[in-house]
Amino acid sequence: MIKINNLTKIYQSKDKQVVAFDNINLDIGEGEIFGVIGPSGAGKSTLIRCLNLLEEPTAGEVIIDGQDITKLSTYKLREARKEMGMIFQRFNLLKSRTVADNVAFPLEIAGKTKREITIKVAELLELVGLADKANNYPSQLSGGQQQRVGIARALANDPKVLLCDEATSALDPETTHSILELLKKINDKLGITIVIITHEMEVIKEICTKVAVLDKGTIAEHGDVIDIFTNPQAEVTKRFIERVINANVPEELLSRVTVANPDKGRLVKVSFIGESAAKPMVSELVHNFAIDANILYGNIDKIQGTPFGTLIIELTCENPSIIEDGINYLVEELEVKVEVIENEGSVLSSN
């Protein structure tokens, strides 16, 4: 649906160049909810603005539905933009227009008749759950409601693509959740491709199917959200994941474990996805190997409907080799990922 080829954006001022991003390649499939995450200043807002040419890329192609939009004439570009919806961090609603008139705006631009507009606006407000607010002004609405108006407006011309530029960053967690639910519903119902730019890993975790991690103007890694979460490669990705899945053991506890059992114990971090999450691994360790398992940390989460969990367990046994057997059993029989934590440092860097 969207193919980004060698996209580069360089801001040229008098005596210096600022590279927003360099040589980005991405392939976003139809109906996907594609997330782009990165720390601020990574160039993600510029990147999404290049998808509808609000920013002109310095080099590269943006192919949307088979058409390279960087090569379109001004008129054709405006027509292409009508096929793409966009929502913003600060909503960007017209404060002089009512909710209904804000939603009507893109329809007016597209030259729809009054009758068509009335019908479509009512339909859209129903979809976003704001039918009763049609005649209110944006200033009378909460942030979440304003973003709903933004979404209704973005969907007015039945776009194939919805671009979300930090759409939930100005909202509280609960409202963020409800907006994400709405986006997911729209994706299910209309099959629209959604591109989300965010710095919040929760957003990616909650609704994205694919994710690209943008750091310092390049893509650090990209792929299925579940793979990135369970097996992050880049440093920046690990930092982002730590924020939502905090598997750091308190230092006091760590020193107790390692100091108290220098050669009898092992501290392991076990990560499991899907099927293996349901297996009774701790009790198997205890029963089959006579290893004492002390759970220090546990977390189970859902990413794209797949259970995903982390356990930090202290394993102790009179015979250290039995611990090794137990760990091998976990890896080979139960197919979970096991990392042995050597010291504090390795906990922080492992994930």
Strand order in the sheet with 2-12: 17-28, 2-12, 59-64, 67-68
| Contact between 254 and 334 (Cβ < 8 Å) | no
Q: How far is the CB of 225 from another protein (least distance, A)?
A: 26
Binding residue count for another protein, defined by CB under 8 A: 28
Q: How many other C-beta atoms can be found within 10 angstroms of the C-beta atom of residue 232?
A: 19
| Contact between 53 and 73 (Cβ < 8 Å) | no
Q: How many CA atoms lie within 13 A of 312 on its CB side?
A: 20
Measured from the CB atom, the residue of 54 and 322 that comes closer to another protein is 54
Measured from the CB atom, the residue of 35 and 106 that comes closer to another protein is 106
The correct pick among 27, 65, 82, 178 for binding another protein (CB under 8 A) is 82
Q: With the CA atoms of 302, 307, 312 and 315 taken in that order, what torsion angle do they form, in degrees rounded to the nearest 10?
A: 170
The correct pick among 52, 147, 193, 198 for binding another protein (CB under 8 A) is 52
Report if residue 57 touches another protein, rule: CB under 8 A. no
| Binding segment toward another protein, per CB under 8 A, in 87-95, 183-191, 297-305, 310-318 | 87-95
| Binding segment toward another protein, per CB under 8 A, in 3-11, 133-141, 246-254, 292-300 | 133-141
Measured from the CB atom, the residue of 62 and 220 that comes closer to another protein is 62
The correct pick among 9, 44, 81, 199 for binding another protein (CB under 8 A) is 81
Strand order in the sheet with 193-198: 84-87, 161-165, 193-198, 33-37, 210-215, 218-224
Q: How far is the CB of 55 from another protein (least distance, A)?
A: 10
Q: How many CA atoms lie within 13 A of 20 on its CB side?
A: 20
CA–CA distance, 178 with 203 (Å, rounded to integer): 11
Report if residue 13 touches another protein, rule: CB under 8 A. no
Report if residue 54 touches another protein, rule: CB under 8 A. yes
Measured from the CB atom, the residue of 38 and 106 that comes closer to another protein is 106
| Contact between 309 and 303 (Cβ < 8 Å) | no
CA–CA distance, 250 with 309 (Å, rounded to integer): 19
Measured from the CB atom, the residue of 102 and 276 that comes closer to another protein is 102
Q: How far is the CB of 92 from another protein (least distance, A)?
A: 4
Amino acid found at 171: L
The correct pick among 86, 204, 241, 312 for binding another protein (CB under 8 A) is 86
The correct pick among 68, 108, 318, 342 for binding another protein (CB under 8 A) is 108
| Binding segment toward another protein, per CB under 8 A, in 101-109, 170-178, 209-217, 237-245 | 101-109
The correct pick among 97, 177, 216, 337 for binding another protein (CB under 8 A) is 97
Buried b (16+ CB within 10 A) or exposed e, 4-39: bbebbbeeeeeeeeeebbbebebebeeebbbbbbbe
Contact residues: another protein, CB under 8 A: 52, 54, 78-82, 84, 86, 88, 90, 92-97, 105-106, 108-110, 137-139, 153, 157, 163
